[in-house]
Amino acid sequence: MNIYDFKVKNIKEEEVSLDQYKGKVALIINSATKCGFTPQYDELQDLYEKYKEENFIILDFPCNQFGNQAPGSNEEILSFCDAKFGITFPMFSKIEVNGENAHPLYKFLKSQKGFAGFDEGHELTPVLKKMLSEADPDYEKDSSIKWNFTKFLIDRDGNVVERFEPTEAIFVIENKIKELI
């Protein structure tokens, strides 16, 4: 099993198969438009522009499960991302990534790569750790998505290679992408 076995809905609610991305290196993200990590869209768009000609793709799945930071409709999210960040990589319909209503794609991704830990050097790490440990002292032990902008790196064969938490520096992610391209 790999990501090509899944169907998802694009931002316009049309069903698409992820097998259309066969042969590409992919970065799958769960995003939010009103998050402290939302400025990562700039870095992600730059990364996409830099490597898209080398069969690299970013697949963006908005999610409102973390602090209600993606409250808009699909149309509002698309409009915001276009106007504020000029996003040109594929965006998909808002989904849930945790819990019983988690999208099957995210259930698969989490089964392949568990929580990777936060970058201790990132300014938001203490905030995330405090908030998550207050909600669940054992949060580090399960594979759930912890916050917006968690990223999964997928190889050309559709296999999950690595998971990056939202605090991971973009240059670390870029170096891993270059290894696969």
Cα(33)–Cα(77) distance, integer angstroms:
7
CA-wise closest residue to 177 among 40, 46, 44, 27: 27
Q: Give the domain ranges of the chain.
A: 23-180
Tell me the mean pLDDT in the region 61-70: 92
Tell me the mean pLDDT in the region 123-152: 96
pLDDT at 9 over 90: yes
Q: Which pLDDT value is given to residue 116?
A: 87
Reported confidence tier of residue 72, pLDDT bands at 50, 70, 90: confident
Q: Which pLDDT value is given to residue 89?
A: 96
The CA radius of gyration of the chain, in Å to the nearest whole number, is 15
Reported confidence tier of residue 67, pLDDT bands at 50, 70, 90: confident
Task: Report pLDDT digits (tens) over 10-51.
Answer: 999 999 999 999 999 999 999 999 988 888 999 999 999 999
Reported confidence tier of residue 145, pLDDT bands at 50, 70, 90: very high
Task: Report pLDDT digits (tens) over 73-112.
Answer: 999 999 999 989 999 999 999 999 999 999 999 999 999 9
- Look up residue 5 and give its two tokens: 């076995």
> Among the CATH numbers 3.40.50.1010, 3.40.1280.10, 3.40.30.10, 3.30.300.170, which is that of 23-180?
3.40.30.10
Q: Which pLDDT value is given to residue 71?
A: 86
Q: Which pLDDT value is given to residue 40?
A: 94
pLDDT at 144 over 90: yes
Active site residue ranges: 35
Cα(31)–Cα(160) distance, integer angstroms:
18
Q: Which residues contact 89 (CB under 8 A, 6 or more apart)?
A: 44, 45, 48, 52, 57, 58, 59, 60
Cα(133)–Cα(141) distance, integer angstroms:
11
CA atoms within 13 A on the CB side of 96: 6
Average pLDDT, the chain: 95
